Amino acid sequence: MEFESTFGTAAPLLGMVHLPPLPGAPRAPDDGRRAMAAAVDRAASDARALDRGGVDGIVIENFGDAPFYPDDVPPHVVAAVTRAATAVAAETDLPLGINVLRNDAEAALSVAAAVDADFVRVNVHTGARVTDQGIVQGRAHETLRLRDRLGVDVGVFADTDVKHSAPLTPEGYTAESFADTAERGLADAVIASGSGTGEAVDAEALEAVVAERERHGLDTPVLVGSGVTPETVADLLGVADGAIVGTALKRGGETTAPVDADRVADLVGAADAVR
C-alpha cells in the first residue's frame, strides 16, 4: 500500500472502533444473536462518529474479547469480526484497518480481504514478547506469504515493543527491533505505544525508534499507538508520522464507552494545527 495516498495525508489520525464482547467471549451476553447485534450496532455508531469528527481512517478490533487467544482465534471470532467490519465499511468510505487480538494476523488479513480493508495491525510481527497470553511469537513469514496468496494490497502495520507485553531480549532492543520489523519483516508501517491501553508513549522511546529508522536509511512510517490526546498530538506528530487513537475519543475518556464525535473533532483540530 502507498501510505500517504491511502489516507490523503502524510500524518493520518486513525480512530479506534473497540468492539464489545463478541459471541463466545466470557463477557458477552448469553444470547449470541443479541451479542452480535450489539457489536454491529456499536461498530456502526462509532464509525459514524469517527467519520463525522474528521479522522483519516478507522481501526476495528475485538477489544471486548478478553482474555484473548494468544494467536489463532476460532472461526466464530473471524466470522463475528467480519460481520462487524462489514457494518463499519457500510457507514464510511474512510480507510479501514483490522486487528484480531491477540495476534492472529492470518485472521486479520482474511477479514481485510473479505471486506476490502486497507491494512491490518499485527501486535507481534517479528521477534517474541511475554504477554498475559504467555509468549507470543511473530509470524511475519506466514503473514506476508498469505497476503501474496490472497492477492490483496493490504498494508501490515506492526507494533514494536507492543503494549501489555515485555521483551525477551536485552534492554535497549526496542529501537533496534524497528529494523527487523520493517527491513526484514517488511512491515508497511511501525507502531510505537505506551505500556498499556490509553498510556502515553515514552518520548525518548519514540525518538529512538525514529532515529533507528533514519540510521538504517528506511522510510517506513512510524505511528503512535496509544495515549494520544488533544494536548499531546501536536508534539507527537512533530516526531511521528501519524497516530492511532482510541481512549481519548471516547465519551468521558473511557476506553469502552462510545465514540464522542465532539472529542474526535477536538483532537483533529489540535492535529490540524501542525499538519
Alpha helices in the chain (DSSP H): 3-7, 32-53, 75-91, 105-115, 140-150, 173-179, 203-215, 233-237, 261-272
pLDDT band (50, 70, 90) for residue 54: very high
pLDDT band (50, 70, 90) for residue 221: very high
- In sequence order, which residues have a C-beta less than 8 Å from that of residue 170 and are 6 or more positions away? none
| Average pLDDT for 109-126 | 97
Are the beta carbons of 208 and 246 closer than 8 angstroms?
Answer: no
- The set of cell numbers assigned to 256 is 469502552
pLDDT at 169: 66
| First-to-final CA distance of the chain | 21
Q: Letter for the amino acid at 182?
A: A
What is d(CA 159, CA 93) in angstroms, rounded to the nearest whole number?
A: 25
- The set of cell numbers assigned to 136 is 507470543
- The CATH class for the domain spanning 3-273 reads alpha beta
Burial (CB < 10 A; 0-12, 13-18, 19+), residue 148, is exposed
Give, as one character, the DSSP assignment of residue 100. -
Are the beta carbons of 51 and 94 closer than 8 angstroms?
Answer: yes
| Average pLDDT for 132-144 | 93
Say if residue 121 is preceded by a cis peptide, omega within 30 of 0. no
Q: What is the separation of C-alpha 184 from the centre of its chain, rounded to a whole number of angstroms?
A: 21
Stretch among 37-46, 191-200, 204-213 having the lowest mean pLDDT: 191-200
